[in-house]
Amino acid sequence: MTTNTKTATRTRIARVSSTPQASTTPSRRKKITLWASAGLGILVVWQVGFTLFAPAYIATPIGAILAIPTVFADPIFFPDVASTLGAVFEGLLIAIVAGTIIGLAMGRLPDVNRVLGMYVGAFYAIPLIAIVPLFTVWFGYTPQARLAMIVLEAVLPIIYNVAEGSRIVSATYLDVTRIHRVAWWRVWTGVVLPNALPYVLAGLDLAIGRALIGAVVAEFVTAIDGLGTYILFNVHSFHQNEAVIALIVVVIFALVIRALINLAVRRGLPWYQPVKEA
Amino acid sequence: MPTVTEVEPMIHVDHLGKQYGERTVFSDISFDVNPGEIVSIVGPSGCGKTTLLRCVVGLMKPSHGTVLVSGTPVVDPPEGVAMVFQHFGLFPWKTIAANVAYGLTAKGVSMKDAAPRVHELIKLVGLEGFEKSYPYQLSGGMQQRAGLARALAVEPGVLVMDEPFAALDAQTRDILQLELLRIWGTRSAAMMFVTHSIDEAVLMGDRIVILRGRPSSIFDIVDVGIPHPRGRETVDTDRFRTVRDYVWRAVMHDEADDTPLPTDADAVRIEPQSHRNMNGHDHG
């Protein structure tokens, strides 16, 4: 009996893991074709339309490609990239740690939620760009103002999602911990947090985009070295094609971070994938 | 029966009652579970079986009465009590081995130190080769095997099961009932087994507590009187049928129905002294 069950389950596992690949290959090819042709279409419309109707200094796809050597040869470009992306990375790390702790406390302790919930909601609702001038007063025209902006932007969706994810722990899981007389902090780290992980990742997804917004906006206002300042400076000096390249670097950075997170999830959390597919 | 009264019960339920606001779920419930004994709890749907179980293990506060486990009043879940859940309650982010070890690792025992016992239990429940699998990769029956192994890992003196096989298909349920009895033979804890299946209650139980009425209370406690080891053939014995028919009628009996149950009650008594006399309890 036992041998039969084992064989049956092994076959089932094999089938579960092989089916998606087999069935998605044709549809994925179709998806990529559609995606690529849509992108190409937009570029063609942009190129043709702007060449015909816009002044010469307006950015076009071909102009941007031709600007790549100039941008990469610019001695301030890579330090600017490193400055902005370094700050975004640092800010995201701070936001993940702080957001997870605050979110956990809000999700599990009704009193904390009553105290903080309203403020998190309020901060989430207001356009945080409005806060940058205040930050420049508090922190000066410094990288610290930018970092504060990045953290504030990124921490809110993480708090929101972690709080929600840790609120909805299955009652059975909590019963299991109570029956085994598990210490509260082990319940938080060992059950509530892993249970909230899908929510943490969803929050992180939002946080990456918001962190980049925070960084660029802070640079616009404070004019400290970075990609935002690079973009602003080039746009103001009729070098729009160069600005577009800097913009693309920001987009690629966001995509790479998201891809890295996806990879880490697939490698490190094998149990999470089927939950997502279901 | 002096020998029975001398045994100190593992679980002593004394006039237990539970109310939610105005609504009384059950009241005046008293029974004992002795070491090495399986007591099944049956009753119509919604009679508070699970609530009773949760009060007994300290997951819920009763409104009246007390529960003693190993002679100590239960306030929070006590040491030495393990539970098997209807929906398994395995953590999806842990492997089967880590789930089985949970009761130990959650107390600070390292996975390495827990390994020998985990291995032994995984073997006992027939999950060898699945140590590194995740719950989602296993069928429901296998997940519940893991749930049972996790409960046994803490070497409980009291094991409570809340409709453990209700979420499984009929064949898997049949297999696991007998598997549980086999595994039970290797242990000597007191077990409370909540089920809505009357056949299951008779097959598993040494005694059956029948809950009835609204609010529910104990209608009767039946001695099953079928010796261990039990197997598939147990359900074909006359004794099994007699007890099952009696319990079935007791549970299904409508208040309006005037079928005289006392006549049936005599049929299940093994000898003049019933459990009530043995334990000195007096139920309505």
Question: Domain B2-80+159-237+245-279 is classified in which CATH homologous superfamily?
Answer: P-loop containing nucleotide triphosphate hydrolases (3.40.50.300)
Choose the closest CB to B85 out of A13, A172, A177.
Answer: A172
Degrees (nearest 5) of the Cα angle B11, B14, B19?
115
pLDDT (tens digit, 0 to 9) for every residue of chain B, 284 residues total? 444 556 788 999 999 999 998 899 999 999 999 998 999 999 888 888 999 999 999 999 999 999 999 889 999 999 999 999 999 999 999 999 999 999 999 888 899 999 999 999 999 888 999 999 999 999 999 999 999 999 999 989 999 999 999 888 988 898 999 988 888 888 888 999 999 999 999 999 999 999 988 888 898 898 988 888 888 888 888 888 888 888 888 888 755 555 445 445 666 766 544 444 344 344 43
Give the chain A residue whose CA is nearest to the CA of B160.
Answer: A179
Distance CA B182, CA B231 (A): 9
> What tens digit of pLDDT does each residue of A221-253 get?
888 888 888 888 888 888 888 888 888 988 998
| E-state strands within B9-133 | 11-20, 23-33, 38-42, 64-69, 72-73, 81-84
* pLDDT on residue A12: 42
Distance CA A119, CA A127 (A): 14
* pLDDT on residue B160: 95
> What tens digit of pLDDT does each residue of A31-76 get?
999 999 999 999 999 899 888 888 878 888 888 888 888 888 888 8
8 Å CB contact between B183 and B148: yes
- What architecture is the A70-277 domain classified under in CATH? Orthogonal Bundle (1.10)
Q: Do B129 and A12 touch (CB under 8 A)?
A: no
pTM to 2 decimals? Answer: 0.77
- Residues of A near B (CB-CB distance < 8 A)? 1-2, 5-6, 8-9, 12-13, 16, 170, 172-173, 175-183, 186, 190-191, 194-195, 197, 269-272, 274-275
Q: Are strands B38-42 and B207-212 parallel, antiparallel or unpaired?
A: parallel
- Where do the structural domains in chain B lie, given as residue ranges? 2-80+159-237+245-279, 91-155
Q: Do A5 and B102 touch (CB under 8 A)?
A: no
Nearest Cα residue to B233 out of B180, B178, B187, B185: B178
Q: Do A194 and B141 touch (CB under 8 A)?
A: no
Choose the closest CB to A186 out of B79, B106, B138.
Answer: B106
Residues of A in contact with B141 (CB under 8 A): 5
* pLDDT on residue A40: 92
Q: Do B83 and A175 touch (CB under 8 A)?
A: yes
> What tens digit of pLDDT does each residue of A178-201 get?
999 999 999 998 999 888 888 888
Q: Do A5 and B106 touch (CB under 8 A)?
A: no
Nearest Cα residue to B222 out of B236, B205, B235, B237: B205
Distance CA A214, CA A163 (A): 23
Distance CA A167, CA A54 (A): 53
CA distance B267 to chain A (A): 37
Choose the closest CB to B81 out of A172, A173, A179.
Answer: A179
Phi, psi of A124 (to 5 degrees): -65, -35
CA distance B212 to chain A (A): 26
Residue B116 burial class via C-beta count within 10 angstroms: exposed 0-12, middle 13-18, buried 19 and up = exposed
Q: Do A197 and B92 touch (CB under 8 A)?
A: no
> What tens digit of pLDDT does each residue of A86-128 get?
999 999 999 999 999 999 999 999 889 888 988 888 888 888 7
